[in-house]
Amino acid sequence: MAKAPNISLPQGVRDILPEEAQKIGFVERTVLSVFEGYGFKRIITPLLEYVDVLSLGTGEWLRERVLKFVDPTTGRIMAIRPDITPQIARVVATRMRDCPLPLKLCYNENVLRYQDPTSAKSKELLQIGAEYITEEPSPEVDAEMIVMAVEALRSIGLEDFRIDIGDVGFVRAILRGLELDEHEKVLLKDVIAKKDTSGLEELLKGFGDRISREERDILFTLTSLYGEEEIIERAMSFSRNRATEEVVENMHIVLEILKKRGVKGFITVDLGEVRGFDYYTGMIFEGFASGIGKPILSGGRYDTLIERFGYRCASTGFAFDVENIVSALNTHT
C-alpha cells in the first residue's frame, strides 16, 4: 500500500465504507417501510437548532451533551441536534398543531451528542425513529409502538433480541414517598438502576431510621423486579400508592396486548429500570440483540415534552440505533 498523508477525523465521527453502508441502506428502507405500513409519515428536521429553543425539550441530561457554537449571524448559541424527539415536539407544537390527532411521525437522521459531559467525547449516531402523538396517554399506544419495533427488527432478519420494558413512574413514585432529600434520592436511584444490592445496603445504613422496615423491603425488591410477566403480580402485591398502582395497571394492559399480538416472547419486564431521557414520563423500553452490549433501540412515553413547546398532548416514541442494528445483523446472520 502506498503511503497516505497523515489525515485524521474528529473523534466520534467515522467513514462508513460500502459493505456496511449497503447494510445501513437495507435497514433504512426496510424499517421505514414497516413504519409506513403502520401509518407513520416521515418528517425531516434541521441539522441545527438554537440552544435556548432546544433546551425547552432536552432536559439536563441531553443539554450537557450538546455540541454548541456561536451563530456568526446572530451571536446566539447554536447546537447540532443531539436527539430528534425534542425537534419533533417543537414541530408538532408550532407548525403542526392544526393537524388532527393522532399524529404518527417518523424520521431517519443523523444526530451528534457527547457520550459524557466531562470527557468531551462526542459521537455521531444514525437513527431511525417514530413518535406516536395522541390527545391522552394510553397503554394501547405504548403496546403498538413495541409491536411495531418488534416487527421492524424481524423484517430486517433479527430474531434473537429482547425488549426490556420499564416505567420511570414506578421508582419515582416510590422515592417520592420517602423522607429523603433530592441528592439522597439520586444516590438511591443510581444503586437501584445498577441493581447494586450491597451499595443499597450501605446507603440505607446511612439513612438510619428515616427509612422504615417496609420501605427498606420495597427498595430491595426494586433491584430484583425484572423478568417475565410474573413481575407484574409481585409488583401488584406491594403497590403502595395510586401512582405505583397506575404504572402496574398500565403495564399489565400493555403486556396483555403484546401477548395477543404474538410478540410476548421478545419482552422482559424491569420495574427497577430508571434509565433514559429526562423527558420520559411513563413506560420506557430498550432493545438488545444477543452478543451486542449496546442497545439497538430505546424509547418511552413523554407526555409533557410537547407541552413545553406550548401544545398539550401525549406521546410515545423510540429510535433505532442503525449502526448497532447492523452490528447485530453481522453477528446473527
Q: Which residues bind its own copies (CB under 8 A)?
A: 1-5, 7-18, 20-22, 24-25, 29, 32, 41-50, 53, 56, 69-74, 76, 78, 80, 87, 90-91, 93-98, 105, 110, 112, 120-122, 124, 126, 309-311
Q: Is there a contact between 43 and 96 (Cβ–Cβ < 8 Å)?
A: no
CA separation for the pair 141, 36 (Å, rounded): 16
Least Å from the CB of residue 230 to its own copies:
42
Indicate the helix (H) or strand (E) that contains 153.
Answer: helix 139-155
Other beta carbons within 10 angstroms of residue 45's beta carbon come to: 17
Whether the link from the prior residue into 86 is cis, omega within 30° of 0, is no
The set of long-range contacts for 204-207, using a CB threshold of 8 Å and a minimum separation of 24, is 207/180
Closest approach of its own copies to the CB of residue 67, in Å: 8
Nearest in space to 27 (alpha carbons), one of 265, 319, 276, 277: 319
Compute the least distance from the CB of residue 33 to its own copies, in Å: 10
Closer to its own copies by CB, 109 or 303: give it.
Answer: 109
Nearest-approach distance from CB 76 to its own copies, in angstroms: 8
Q: Identify which of residues 87 and 281 has a Cβ nearer to its own copies in the complex.
A: 87
- 9/213 with CB nearer its own copies: 9
C-alpha cell at 326: 447492523
- Minimum distance of its own copies from residue 63's CB (angstroms): 15
Closest distance to its own copies from the beta carbon of 26 (Å): 10
The 8-class DSSP code of residue 310 comes to T
Q: Which is nearer to its own copies, 6 or 198 (CB)?
A: 6
**φ and ψ of 125, to 5 deg:** -120, 140
- The alpha-helical segments, DSSP class H, found in 223-318 are 230-238, 242-260
Comparison of 41 and 210: residue with beta carbon closer to its own copies: 41
Residue 315 bridge partners (DSSP): 133
Q: In this complex, which beta carbon is closest to its own copies, that of residue 89 or of residue 263?
A: 89
Place of cell 455540541: 67
